[in-house]
Each structure stands twice: as C-alpha cells, then as structure tokens.
Structure 1
Amino acid sequence: MLDEMKMELSLHPDVKFVYTDARGNSSRQVAQVRQILQKGVDLLIISPNEAQPLNIVVKETLAKGIPVVVIDRKTSSNDFTAYVGADNYQIGKMAGNYFISKNKGQINALEITGSPASSPAIERAKGFADALTAAKRIRKLYKLNGNWTQNSADRALSRHKDMLKSVDAIFAHNDVMAASARRTLEVMNLNRPIFILGVDGLPGAGGGLEMIANKMIQASVLYPTGGKEAVQTAFRILNRERFEKVSILRSLVIDSTNVQLMQMQWERINSQQKDIERQQYLLEEQRAIYKSQATVLNIVIIMLVLVVVTGGLAFYFLMENRKINRSLEAKNDHILQQRNELIEMSARAEMATEAKLNFFTNISHEFRTPLTLMLGPIEDLIHTAKLNNDQLGFLKLAHKNIFILMKLVNQLLDYRKIEYDNQTIHASPNNIIDLINEVIGNFRHIAHKRNIDLRLFSQEKECTVWFDINMLDKVFFNLISNAFKFVGDGGHIFIHLHVYNNTVQIDVEDNGIGMTSDQATHIFEHFYQADNGLSKGSGLGLALTREIIQLHHGSITVKSIKWQSTVFTIKLPLGEKHLKEDEKFEQVIDPKGISEQASQYFAELETTTSTGTPTDNFKEPREHSILIIEDNNDLLHLLSSKLGEHYEIYTAMNGRSGVNEAFENVPDLIISDVVLPELSGRELTERLKSDIRTSHIPIILLTAQISLEHQIAGMKAMADAYMTKPFNFPFLLETITNLLRNRHILKEHYTSEIKTNDRLPVSKTLDKKFINDFAGYIEQNLSNEHLNVEDISKAIGVSRIQLYRKVKALLGYNITDYIMNRRLKKAQYLLTNEDHTISMITYMVGFSTPNYFSTVFKAKYGCTPTEYKKQQRT
C-alpha cells in the first residue's frame, strides 16, 4: 500500500507526504492521528487497525473540515469522506469457493482468523462461512485466532497441534499466518498433503507470490491495497472534482497457473517506477542549479539595497528593542504576581474542599444515629402496639423510608471512602457463584410476588475469584435492585456467568424500560439520573458500583435498547497477579451479613400494603373531587388516604394518564408532582390550562425542587399553587379549601343577577372566552324553542359531556336550568321596558305556548306575566 502511494505521489512532487505506523496498536494510532492534526494537514488517509476505536478521532477530523479517506479497513461508522478498499466479504467468499473447488469430497477445514475486532477479519470470516455453507461439503470447521501476526499464529497453532492432524485444508486470513501454518505442518512431519490458502498475494521477498512460486502455500487471494486509488481519490477531493464515496477494488485468486505472470507484472511496474524516480532526481538537480543561480542574483541586488537602509534601521530597532524589553519585564512581573495569587487561591480552595468533605462525612455519620433511634421504636410499635389498619400502614411507611435513608447514607459514606480516602480492597479467594446465589436468594420473595423470572445461568459449578466480600456484594445488590425498579410485573432478570481468557464475565440482563444511548453514556456519573421520568434513585448507586469494580481491577459497561432491554456487563480478572500484597486478605462469605444488608435495598422495592382509603366504604359521592398525580406509590397512597376523608379521589401515576384522567373526570382540583414519567408536572399544567375543557381546574404542584427559580418556573406554567416537599398536610388541606372557595366565588359571580357588562374580569382567559361564547350563543338563540345541548356543543366546539362538566364547574348550573333562567330574565326585561303583547314575548324568549310561559313565569316570580306587567306600570 505504501509503495503504491509513493508511486502515485511521485507524479506530484509539490505534495508533502507524512506517514506514521501504529504497528497494530489502536490507541497509538489514535494518538498519532491527533499529533498529525495538530501539525496541520489538508487531507487524512487512514487505514484503521480496528473498527471501533477510530470512530471518535475520525469525527474530530471531519469536524475540523479536513476530509478523511478510509483505506483498506472500515470503521464501524459511516462518518468518512471516501472509502477505498476491497470487499472483504467477497474476498472471504471467493476464498471459500476456490477452497471447495480444490478439495474434493467431505473435508475437515481450519480457518485462521485475524483480530476479532477488525472489520476485515469479521467480513472475511462471514464470506468464507457463507461459501462453505452453500457447498455443504465441510465435515467440520475449526477456527483459531492468529491476530494477523506470525508470532500469534505460531502460538495458536502450537497449542492445537492435535487439531491439525485431522485437518485436510487450511484458510488463513493473510499469507503471513498461512506461512506459519506451513511451518507448523513441516515440524509435525505429516505424511499427507494439506491444502493451504492465504490472502494478500503481495510481491517481493517473503510475499505471497514468492510463497506460491516456492509451493509453500497453494494459493492466495489478491488483496488490492488501494494505495494508488486512495491518492487519486484524495486529489479529486482536494481539487473539488467528482469522486466515488465508496470505491470497491477488484480481486482474484493467485495460484501456480498465474503466479509467474503476476511476478512479471510487478517487476515491470517496479522497473518503471525506478525510471520515474531517476528522471525526477535529474529534474531536481536542474531545479537546484536554477534556484542557486537565481538566489545569487537576488542576494546581490538585495545586499545593495540593504547596505543603504541597514544603518538607519539598526539604530531604530535598537531603541524599539529596549522599549519592548521594558514592556516584557513589566508583563513578566505581572504574570508572576498572578501566578502567585493563583497558587494561593488553589491552596485555599483545596483547604475549603477538604473541610467540606470532612463536614460531609461527619454529617453523614450523624444521620445514622437518629435513624437508628427512630428504627428501634417504630419496629417495637409495629410488632407490639395495638393499632388500626391505617395507623399500622403509616408506621410501615415510616419504617420503609428509614431503611431507604440508611441505604443512601451508607452509599454516600462508601463513595467518600473510595473516591477521596483512597480506600483499598481486602480481597480473598471465594466462589463468586455462591455470592451471586446468596444475593439472588434475598430477592426471591419479591420476584415471586411480582411474577418476575430471576435466574442465574452458568456452565461453571464453581468459579474462584479474588474479591472483597464486603464490597462486591453491594455491586450485585445495586444492579439487581435497579433491575427490579424498571422491570414490569411478569418480566425477567437473568444473570449470565461465563469464563474466558483468564477473565470471568457476569451479565445482568433485564427486559425493562431501557435507556437511550446518550443516557447509557452518562449512567455511571455520580448523581446522574436518566431523564426518562422514572427517577427512582439518588444517582449514586451505579457510580459507587463502578468504583468498586475498578478497585477490583475490573470493568463494567452497559448496553441498552430503549423500551426493550438493558445489560450491565462486569469483567473481573481471575487469579491474584493483578493484586498488591496489601490488597489480599482472608475472608469467607457470610450469608447472615448479606441478608442484613439486603433489607436496605428491599425497602425501595417493597410496596406498602394498602389499607384502603376512607372513600372505599363511603357510598355517597363527595361534593368535590380531587385528582392526585404522583409516581411514588407510597406518597400517592398517603395523599389518597388523607384527602379521601374529605373529597372524592381520582389517581394517576404518570403525566400522560393524569391528563387522560383530567379530561375523563374533570375534577374540581388537581394535585401533581413536578417530576413524573412520560410528562412532567409543568408540561401537564400547561396542557390542561391551555385546553378549554380543563382550563378552569385549580392545580397544585408538589416538588422536591425548592429553589426560587424552580418555583417561578412552576408559576409560569400557570399553576395555582406551588408547594415544596416535605409539606405540611394541614397547610395543603387549607390551600385546597381556599382554591375551591375561590372557584365557588367565581361561580357565584357568573350566575349573579349583575348585568354582563358590569361583571369583574375573569382571571383565566380561556374560561372567560368560554363563558362569553356560551352565554352569547344562548342570548342569540333564546327565541329558538328547539335550542338544545347538541346545537350549543357544535357551536362552541366541545363534546356534550365536556360541555356539561365545564358549565357545571364554572356556573354551578346544568345547561337546561341556565337556558330557562336566561329566558325568564329576558322576558322580565321585555315586560318592564318594551311594549309587546304577552304572546309576542312568549315566542321572543323561546316558549312554545303562552300558557306554558305563564306557568313557568309564575313559578319563578310568584305572579303571571300579565300581573307582573301591571305592577311595573303602576
């Protein structure tokens, strides 16, 4: 590849070519690219060592406006300007087809693959497998990882010599590994011929062409390096000419029938290149002579001019230099002063940080004492006191939340010790399968209660790992309890354990709500909570989990698909070589200690037993109804129980169902949390307040966000009240009473006898518009005796049910009574101020007959219309 690039670049002598070699190290390749970018290039040609690690640096290059031509190997992303290379899948398939054509009958085959993480190895293996599958002549296919190099292939083949005895043919992903296979077979001195097929077909000493000619291997699939095509594509890009984004190079199989022809072609190309280089050398000599002569002439002219001006400029520059030196000295003094101030500020900041951390640790310790003092009396009351169902339920709720606080305090202290006190592990050799089974055993009753399939899958009966028993169990408690929080009833939580390459891998998989890729990227950051509306933790558990795994010299990663699944993968090294002497300690697994710790994690998973709200046995409907929207089941039950003594209660556990409940039941008041799944409390408030069906309903927002900015944001969302947690229940009850009283005053205002033009303005614009539209339509159609609810709902644009509820909530009347009152009021006005007959007034206000009008009028005012008219004139 490099030779082809140099050949093509020899036609462009004005181009500077910078070349680096990472020697198979992906991290070094990323660092080399960044160094090149700092020096400045116009275009980057890169052959990725592995598919994944180069994605980020390629994106960085493109972000700087530098085109990127990917050659030979692909990245796992489509972020590149152009790609030049062979189709590795087709090369693998071509090798497989040739492989089958040269081997008769059923055969045992061996495939020596390249690095498992590189795209050529993956694609060649897939193409080879597809060709073999189609042929259906492979009895057994063995695979070894040669990692592209001779040493790796030699080691892999040496470890599996017994396998080679039964192999009939070998396919190696490159000629180097194919040569290793031939050498190993010669050492084994097998008496039967074994067909060997490689990939590359490179010319030169030790290349694939020479191996085929010497019959070291039988054939090789030509892998076009694409160096020439990459340089040509690069110049098209730089010259803003049309180019192919993906250029796939053709290949062929080289064997004894065409190897001599290929060698002759290469020797001829090499000879032509040497001629070009020799001619370029001669041209460079002529250019150098010309430049030297031109330089001498220019120097003579310039010296004549400089002699004239140098004398005057020398004195001027001397004076300017002195000024600059004085200015630099002053700036240097200022910089030194700022540096000393920064050092002093840094020292003060470090002291302040240490003081904060000490206070943080001390206050966390102090929390444990009052929590312990609360826990004992509450447990005594639960087991010994004679309490009714409601009192027992409230005590169990307090008992549960004490354990939650204890877990948070312990996590904070553990994180402080690891992050800032440099705590080390006390590792001992124990069976990690026993530890996982002990942890799983503590979750069995919860899994059974929620019909969740919780199982450990392992082909190993025993797996000895050096770990700290008092720390690693917290990792599995955290991961499994998190899975329970986000898995629905009837779901599954599977733990898979398997051993490979001196490493034990543990996968904790669930089919819960999952995460987006962006959320998964930040999930291990301390105090981070995924913005999925299901914030069910402190954001510290997974950060602590990662710290504990890193102390064990392991790693933890996560893969998640939104609304499908999440898999946390833990990898721990086997043996003790990775541990320091002071990290080793003798410990055994204590099931009792694990069970005691489990109670802190169960607290968040257990649901407080519901004893029913007072409304369950209260058969008569309440005067007012309240919708409570809260995703915490315990708080929802507490509010429902307390408020159910006074109001009819509707409930919802997320924002979207809360909106649906509001539209369905049109309650008199809504209480909502701010942080809710699917739709936040502020979004819910804005939606309900902007909808004519629910705009009149008072809304109280509850939140743990106590800052003034959050309160202002809540009021901007048109909430009627904003209360922070923990809240005083009598204050909440009084707030509800006042809001409902104000709504009653508003009803009285709209249904009073005051004329429309003298009424006070309505506080809510949508409510005012609704009342004006409703009243205006009825006033315009009072003479229509067939006026009905269907006509009004069509005219205003709401359903009949919503119209009934809205009018009832705002005016306190049903629609029929309201229409009747307006007809009688207008009739009263006409009898007093207009000179119309009783019959005319009857039809003007929409009554079908004068007799019916007279009967209804008398029932309302105590006299007939005729008598009323006489009274007004006397």
Structure 2
Amino acid sequence: MNDFRTWLTTIRSVMGRIDVTEKLKRICLFAFLTGLLLASCQTAPEKKTYQIGFSQRTGTDTWRKTMLEDMNRELSFSPEIDFLVKDAGGQSDKQVEQIQELINQHVDLLIVSPNAARPITPIVEKAYQQGIPVIILDRRTDSDQYMAYVGADNVEVGRTAGAYANTLLNGVGNVIEIGESPGSSADIDRHRGFVEAISRHPGIRLVKKLEGDWDKQSFAGELTQLLKSQPTIQLIFAQNDRTALKAHAICQQLGLEQRVKIIGVDGLPGKNEGIDLVERGILKATVLYPTGGKEAIRTALAILQKQPFKRENRLPTTLIDSSNVRIMKLQNDKVTEQQADIEKQSRRIDDLNQTYTSQKNTLYFTLGSLIVAILLGGWALYLFRTKQGAYQLLEKQNGEIREQKDEIERVSQQARLATEEKLRFYSYISHEFNTPLSLILTPTEDLLSKKNVSQHDLRNNLSLVQKNAYRLLRLVDQMLDLRKSDAGKQRLRTAEQDIVTFVRDIVLDFRRKAEKQRIDLQLLTNLSTQPVWFDAEKLDKVLFNLLSNAFKYTPRGGLIHVRLDRLDNQVRIQVQDNGQGMAPDEQAHAFDLFYSGTKSFNLAKGVGLALSMEFIQLHRGDISVQSVQDKGTTFTILLPLGNQHLETEEMVGSTSRNPLFQHQFLVEADEDVEAQKPVSLPAKQMGTLLIVEDNDELRNFLVNRLGAEYDVVAESTGEKGWERILEIIPDLIISDVMLSGTSVDALDGLELTQRIKTDLRTSHIPVVLLTANAQMENRIEGTRAGADVYLTKPFNTTHLLETLRTTLINRQKWQQRFASDFSPQSGNRQEKKFLNELTALIEQNLTDPAFGVEKLSREMGLSRVQLYRKVQALMDMNVMDYLTEIRLKRAKYFLRETNKPMAEIAIETGFNSAAYFTTFFKQHTKKTPSEYRKSPVGA
C-alpha cells in the first residue's frame, strides 16, 4: 500500500509539471491503476496443500531435537506442507489432549511419537478410525491400528549391546543395566534383547536392572550402593547415552572409572553426546539409535501423494566404538557441513524468489506505464525531445558535481593523512632534537651553577656537549639532504674511484668502536681493486647509516661483516650483522620514511634509510634488505659498472669524502658508551628514585646528578622498569614518554605510568614524565595516564631537583593525613581502596592472636616487602604499628562504651590473656585498662 501511494504521488507530480488536459490525466491514472491491479493479482500468497500434525512426547532432550531437525530438514524440500508440532513435555495426559486438538483441526496426516504405549493407544485408534493416516514413530502403541511404523528395532539394540558386552568381558563378568522410562516399549524391548544376548554366555551375570529416566537421576543412590557393595561389577549397560554419562560420573566419584566399562545407546553427534563420549573414552561403545525423523516425513509424503510405501520401516542400527568412532564423527561433521550448505542455498533460493516476485511486480507496473506512454503518444515524444537537451545538461552537471565531490573527499583524505604525518613528524623531530639539546643545555647550566668545577667534571660535561652537538649536526645534515630530495635538487657528482679502498677506509673508521663493543668487524672481499663511478660523499653517508644501524642493533660479542664482490656488470656491497633483526612488516617498510613498526621511532634510522635508498637510486643502483627476527639483518647494495648510465653533468672527474663528515664519523664511532650499572650507595635521606630512560647518556647524566640526594636505580626500557618497580617499590619514578623496546608488547612512558597507577602495589608512587612534546594535548594525555608531574625537554636541573623535592614533601603530607585517619574521605581512589581493604582485613581477624604480617600480606596478595613499603609510603608507619593502632582503638572503644570484663575485651582484641592485654595497653597508653575506663573522656 505504501508503494502504491508513492507511485501515485509520483505520477500526479509528473503530470502536474506538464501542461495536459484533465482528460489525459484521468487516462494515465486509469492505466496506472490497471497495471497495479495486474501486479496485485499475481502476488497472492500461495496456500498450503497439506497439514501434517506431529505429537512428540518431549522436545527437550538432544535425541528428540535431532529428530525434529531431521523432519524440518526434509520438509524444506516440500514448502506446500503445513507442519504442526505439539510437545507434551513427557506427560501422557497432555499428549492425548494435543492429539485430540490435531484431530479437531482436521490434519491430513498424524505422526505420533508416544510417551507411553498404553495411555496413547485409544486416541491413536480414534484418529485412525476417523480416516486420518497415522504414522507411529520411535515407540509403538498397544494396537496395530496405524498406517505405518518408523523406528529402530529396540530388541536388536539390546542384542547389539549384549554381544559387545560379551566381547569386552571375554565371556565372564557381572553387569548392571539401567533402563529407559519404566513401562515404555523401548525399555522393555532393549532389556529383552540384552538379556537374550548375554544369556548365551553363562559367565556373564546381570546383577540388577535399575529403573532410570533420561531426565532424572533416580538410580544414583542405588547404583552407588551396588558399586560399593559388589566390587566385582565390571560393566554397566545404560539404555541411553545421558544415563550412561551420569553413571560414569558416579563411577568417577567412587574412583571406578577405569575398572567399570560403560555401554550407551543413541550415538548422537555433539558435545557430551554418544560419539563424543566414545571418542573421549568415557564410554566403551554406544549403539547408534537413528531418530527416523527423515524417514517419517518421507513415508508421510508418500501416503499423502498416494505413492507406494512400507508399513513397517525398520531403521538400521550399528555399534560405535573406538574402531569406528572417528569415521562416524567425520561423517556427521560432513553431513552437518553439507546441511549448512543446503540451508545456505535454500536462503539463497528464497532471496531469488523474492527478487523474482519484486521484478515480476515491476514488470506489471512497467506494462501499465507502457500503456500510459502509448496513450500520450506523439505529444509526450514532443515534450521529451524538447526537454531532452535540458536533461542531458542536468545529468552532465550532476556527473561533474559527483566527480568534484569524489575529488574533494579524496583530497580531504590525503590532507588528513598528510596532517597526521606532519604532526607525527614534528613529534619525532621534537623528541630527537630535544634529547641532545637536553644533554647540551643541562650539563652547561650545571657547570655554570657551580662555583668550583673540577677538571674531571669539566672534561666529562664538555665531552657530552661535544658529542651531542655533533649528533645535532648530523641530524640537521640529514634533514637538509631530505629537503633537497623532496625538492628534486639532489645531484650526483661522480668520479671513477677504487670502491675497494673506499669501503675499507669506512670500515676502518668503525674499528675502534667495534673493539670497544667486542664486535667482529671485517671487510670480506676477493677484489684487490675495482674502479666504479660513484659520488663519494653520498655513498659515504649510505655506508655510514648502514654500519651505524648494524652497531646499534648488534649485541656485544656479535659480528658485522661487510662483503664486497662483483656480479656481472654490477658491484655488490653487503652489510651483514647477527643482531635482533626485523619483523616481516618492518622489513617490508624498512626504507619508508618515518615507519617504526613495533619499536619507537628513531629519526636517524628512519630518515637515514630513506635517504640511503634515494642516494643509491640516484646512482641507478638498488638497495634491499633481508632479515630474520632474532637472527640478523643483511643490507645489499648493487651499483652498475661503467658510466653509460650517467648524465654528462653528473660526471665531475674527481670527488672525495667530506672532511667534516669524517670527523663526525670518528666522534659518532665513540658515542655508544656502555651504560653505567646502578651504583649501590648508602640509603639517602630523600629516598629511592627509579629512572627509566632509553638514551644512555641522558640516563647516566641523571644517575650521576641525582645520585647525591637519592638512591638511584636506572633502567633502559619500560618492561625492565616495571620489573624493577615491583622489586624495590621506589619512592619516586622518572620516565621518558618515548621509550624504545625490542618486544611487540614494549611499554612507552604513558603505558608504564598507567600500569603503575592502576596496580594496587604501586598506585601510591609519584611519577614524573620527561618529554619533548610540550603541546597541551600531550600534557592532557600524560595527566590522564596518571602522571604527577609533566616536564618538557630540555629541562633545568635545578627545576627538576626542586620538583622532585616538592613531590616527595606532598607525599609526606598525605602520609600524615592517612596516618591520622584510617578511612580518608578524599585522595587517590586506589590508595583509599587499599587502606579500606587493609583495615577491613585487620578488623575481621582482630580476635586471632596468630594474625600477623605474614597472613595479612598473603590475604592482600602482596609480598611482605611490598606490603611494608606500601604502608610505609602511605602512612609513614610500619604494618605492625598500624595493627597495634587498630587493636588499641578497638580496646578503647570497648572500655568506654561497654561493660565487658577485661578477659573478654582481651580475646576480642586478639590477646591470649587479660594479663598480657593489660601490660600491652599500659605500655602504649601509660594507663591500665581499668584506669582508662574510669578516667573522664578526653583525659
């Protein structure tokens, strides 16, 4: 109806825009309604041909659910069948009522799965006598008045189980049988078949048959008693797999699961069903008892369609044990998979049918519209031709607008990505430049603030300033090269030179550094000389970058080999190390500008490798990388021989290495000093300070500068820092925001701060963050992570020292406040939670004289040392003093507010005797309990 109104509105709107007579309008509307009427006549819903009623005893167990699924699956191929299902919930009276309802509905065929044979027989006979075909499914009735029966032979099921029991027991043993629903045909027939089978073997004795329902465990007590009283029982035959699983649980409780073997019936797929239980070894075997749902529907369709059918449909059974359970499971999985495909195809067919119906309706509507078009005739054609030019122009404009919109979106996306890259670039630039600037300005300010400076301090600080000045010079040089490359102003200045001598000189520049780090540095070549046209300054920078990276990521005692050889018309230079290597994604993006992968970004590495590729490509050569994580990395450079590939202006005749760059080379070769290990100093007055900083020089400077006032411990990564925090529980933490790490889960400064502030053991520790990012959003991010102080680089040493002192003084004020009130109403949420839990645990165990620090730390989930340092940091008292305060507070309350005798008060406050309580109380209050009770309030 909504579609009809929409189309009607559209037609009226179109006719309203064109100047036609009222008569034409009525003709068009009549034609449209005619087409719509044709469409509605063709989409009348299809009526069902037959009604099949199904009455089942219950649908809650897996076997019956599987039966219903099989029936629905078979009915999916017969959409003309209306399938009515009634579930009696295991009640015979209710099933009789439901069958009567189906009879009253005049169903064409009735399928009945009886709950019990005798109560259901009369109503089934009534339906049969009224001419309704009846199919009996699974269990029989006490009458033969039915059209067909579908089900397995329960006697054969019992025989199969009995024969397998003889195989398991080798003809000798005692057996217990657990039946089905008492009085059901399945219970009677299976028992008869089982007894018949084992009676052929005199050595097998049926000790007792227990009554059991699949939904109850009424046999549990009797089975337990039998297993305890008769230890010779070796096998249990359960008439269904659920009963078998419950019997196994009883055997498991008695420790008999290995001795007592269990056989079940049903053999359904799925978790905790027969096939799964056999595969897991819980059951020795299960007898496959088919549901018959599919066969029942096929028989029903044959009856309704007047086709031949069998009156007695015996379903085959088989035994599933360890020899064939795997095959059965695979077959069931395959059937399930195929059924899923069938259902998927069915849904697809439904979708296609809906599409077909929609297209059919559209077709009829189109026919109506065609009639309108014919009636309008030439007049409409004239209007169309008149306005065709305007429509084409409008479509063209719409297309241009769409293209412009797409282009705007594309440019906007590029601009957004470019902005993000720009912001990230500035962030990295700030970090890379501010760290050496901190190591230049901070030592300089430190020297200027001292009245007397020793020659040793002066030389060390100036050396640090010099190294970081050269580091800044190299970074600036790289940024200028990058700017030239982006602007397309990089030009080659090549000359024919001996590549062997050139590479050997560069490797020798790193010799001292290799000796200090005990790295095996070698140039491996079989060439004595090899002339190559190349730009010495640019190739010098490429090899320097590759060797610097190799030294950075190669551990002490490792190897770095430079190989030089000739391949056809190319020279190959390889820089190989056995360092930490790269992950696959890092290897794929090794030469991408600013790519960092799982590690923190390093400007020298990111720009250096990107420039290296740029310089090698200027030589018409190639550079590549091969790396295996934790095994090493090999960079390969290929340079063409001869000068045919060079332009005339690129051949200058002679070039040489930049002397400034050689000097820088020597300085850089000595910059990786070994990180100083934390010095074990006597405890300082201000407390323990942990520094987490990945730059070795800045970390060592802070250790030396702050070591005079604090016990300083230093770590280079966030992971190591976290481990050390849990080990020592420091009083204060200084951390850089951007920390490098080798693992995928490496922690940066913000993540480390967040972990510190959310962990109950460390939430009280103040954190000072050092960063090159001074923007407000970065400060907000650091504060949100939980940082107490946020300092930007380069920082002033005096300011840092005063900040640390002020932070610790504020912490002491909090200690005093916590110590004066055991349940503070403000402050850090984690600290309040910690103190509330601590106080609650003490008060709960106050009456236990043995309750002390060991039990308290165990209950709090902390080590003894962590608990001691946590309480000391929060309250400026040890744990025992805090426990004493609570005992005294409770004792004072009892003495003032109650009339309890001293012995009872002593017990309730955790003392073994009243005498010891009196002595303890007097030591801490200078009064005996009696004196305190008699003294006025406030005295």
- The TM-score range, normalised by the shorter chain, is 0.5 to 0.7
- The whole-number CA distance in structure 2 between the counterparts of 1:387 and 1:755 is 51
Tell me, what secondary structure is at the counterpart of 1:540? helix
Matches within 5 A, 1:225-624: 311-324=378-391, 327=394, 387-533=454-600, 535=602, 537=604, 539-587=606-654, 589=656, 595-599=662-666, 601-602=668-669, 605-607=671-673, 619-624=682-687
- The whole-number CA distance in structure 2 between the counterparts of 1:624 and 1:606 is 30
Amino acid at match of 1:730: T
- The whole-number CA distance in structure 1 between the counterparts of 2:862 and 2:456 is 44
Q: Give 1:595 shift.
A: 3.0
Match of 1:747 in 2: 815
- The whole-number CA distance in structure 2 between the counterparts of 1:574 and 1:487 is 32
Question: Of the candidates 795, 798, 805, which is equivalent to residue 727 of structure 1?
Answer: 795
Instruction: Note closer, same or farther for the CA distance 1:623–1:852 as it changes in structure 2 (3 Å cut).
Output: farther
- The whole-number CA distance in structure 2 between the counterparts of 1:335 and 1:730 is 62
Amino acid at match of 1:828: K
Instruction: Note closer, same or farther for the CA distance 1:576–1:536 as it changes in structure 2 (3 Å cut).
Output: closer
Are residue 866 (structure 1) and residue 930 (structure 2) matched?
Answer: yes
Are residue 857 (structure 1) and residue 921 (structure 2) matched?
Answer: yes
Question: Of the candidates 826, 835, 853, which is equivalent to residue 761 of structure 1?
Answer: 826
Tell me, what secondary structure is at the counterpart of 1:576? coil
The answer to whether the 8 A contact 2:592-2:610 is kept is yes
- The whole-number CA distance in structure 1 between the counterparts of 2:734 and 2:772 is 14
- The whole-number CA distance in structure 1 between the counterparts of 2:869 and 2:922 is 30
- The whole-number CA distance in structure 2 between the counterparts of 1:472 and 1:827 is 83
Amino acid at match of 1:769: K
Instruction: Note closer, same or farther for the CA distance 1:491–1:534 as it changes in structure 2 (3 Å cut).
Output: farther
1:434-472 deviations in whole A, cap 9, x for unaligned?
Answer: 111110111100000000111111121111110011221
Question: Of the candidates 720, 726, 740, which is equivalent to residue 663 of structure 1?
Answer: 726
Matches within 5 A, 1:175-186: none
- The whole-number CA distance in structure 2 between the counterparts of 1:788 and 1:333 is 82
Are residue 693 (structure 1) and residue 761 (structure 2) matched?
Answer: yes
- The whole-number CA distance in structure 1 between the counterparts of 2:490 and 2:602 is 29
Amino acid at match of 1:627: L
Amino acid at match of 1:866: S
- The whole-number CA distance in structure 1 between the counterparts of 2:764 and 2:731 is 9
- The whole-number CA distance in structure 1 between the counterparts of 2:375 and 2:888 is 114
- With the length of structure 1 as denominator, give the TM-score of the two structures: 0.56
- The whole-number CA distance in structure 2 between the counterparts of 1:517 and 1:432 is 32
1:39-82 deviations in whole A, cap 9, x for unaligned?
Answer: xxxxxxxxxxxxxxxxxxxxxxxxxxxxxxxxxxxxxxxxxxxx
- The whole-number CA distance in structure 2 between the counterparts of 1:664 and 1:526 is 39
Match of 1:55 in 2: none
Are residue 635 (structure 1) and residue 703 (structure 2) matched?
Answer: no
Are residue 814 (structure 1) and residue 878 (structure 2) matched?
Answer: yes
The answer to whether the 8 A contact 1:435-1:589 is kept is no
- The whole-number CA distance in structure 1 between the counterparts of 2:584 and 2:389 is 60
The answer to whether the 8 A contact 1:628-1:651 is kept is yes
Match of 1:680 in 2: 748
Query: Which consecutive unaligned segments of at least 5 residues does structure 1 have?
Result: 1-239, 242-303
Instruction: Note closer, same or farther for the CA distance 1:582–1:840 as it changes in structure 2 (3 Å cut).
Output: same
- The whole-number CA distance in structure 2 between the counterparts of 1:594 and 1:731 is 36
Match of 2:103 in 1: none
Q: Give 1:774 shift.
A: 1.1
Q: Which has the larger radius of gyration?
A: 2
The answer to whether the 8 A contact 2:545-2:605 is kept is no
Instruction: Note closer, same or farther for the CA distance 1:643–1:431 as it changes in structure 2 (3 Å cut).
Output: same
Tell me, what secondary structure is at the counterpart of 1:723? strand
The answer to whether the 8 A contact 2:493-2:655 is kept is no
Match of 1:707 in 2: 775
Question: Of the candidates 898, 901, 905, which is equivalent to residue 837 of structure 1?
Answer: 901
- The whole-number CA distance in structure 1 between the counterparts of 2:844 and 2:516 is 63
Tell me, what secondary structure is at the counterpart of 1:537? helix
Number of equivalences? 539
- The whole-number CA distance in structure 2 between the counterparts of 1:838 and 1:309 is 114
- The whole-number CA distance in structure 2 between the counterparts of 1:751 and 1:560 is 58
Instruction: Note closer, same or farther for the CA distance 1:659–1:306 as it changes in structure 2 (3 Å cut).
Output: closer
Which moves more between the two structures, 836-845 or 807-816? 836-845
- The whole-number CA distance in structure 2 between the counterparts of 1:638 and 1:768 is 37
- The whole-number CA distance in structure 2 between the counterparts of 1:334 and 1:841 is 89
Instruction: Note closer, same or farther for the CA distance 1:830–1:332 as it changes in structure 2 (3 Å cut).
Output: closer
Q: Give 1:392 shift.
A: 2.6
Instruction: Note closer, same or farther for the CA distance 1:860–1:334 as it changes in structure 2 (3 Å cut).
Output: closer
Tell me, what secondary structure is at the counterpart of 1:679? coil
Match of 1:274 in 2: none
1:743-781 deviations in whole A, cap 9, x for unaligned?
Answer: 2222212221x474xx32332x33222211111121222
Q: Give 1:685 shift.
A: 1.9
- With the length of structure 2 as denominator, give the TM-score of the two structures: 0.53
The higher relative CO (CA closer than 8 Å, separation ≥ 6) is in 2
The answer to whether the 8 A contact 2:587-2:625 is kept is yes
Instruction: Note closer, same or farther for the CA distance 1:854–1:502 as it changes in structure 2 (3 Å cut).
Output: same
Query: Which consecutive unaligned segments of at least 5 residues does structure 2 have?
Result: 1-340, 343-370
The answer to whether the 8 A contact 2:730-2:765 is kept is yes
Which moves more between the two structures, 589-598 or 737-746? 589-598
Instruction: Note closer, same or farther for the CA distance 1:624–1:536 as it changes in structure 2 (3 Å cut).
Output: farther
Q: Give 1:634 shift.
A: 0.9
The answer to whether the 8 A contact 1:554-1:570 is kept is yes
Amino acid at match of 2:800: L
Tell me, what secondary structure is at the counterpart of 1:710? helix
Amino acid at match of 2:673: T
Are residue 795 (structure 1) and residue 859 (structure 2) matched?
Answer: yes
Question: Of the candidates 795, 801, 824, which is equivalent to residue 888 of structure 2?
Answer: 824
- The whole-number CA distance in structure 1 between the counterparts of 2:399 and 2:861 is 76
- The whole-number CA distance in structure 2 between the counterparts of 1:734 and 1:591 is 45
- The whole-number CA distance in structure 2 between the counterparts of 1:787 and 1:669 is 32
Tell me, what secondary structure is at the counterpart of 2:604? coil
Instruction: Note closer, same or farther for the CA distance 1:602–1:534 as it changes in structure 2 (3 Å cut).
Output: farther
Deviating above 6 A after TM superposition, structure 1's stretches of 4 or more consecutive aligned residues are 304-310, 328-336
- The whole-number CA distance in structure 2 between the counterparts of 1:803 and 1:609 is 32
Q: Give 1:663 shift.
A: 0.3
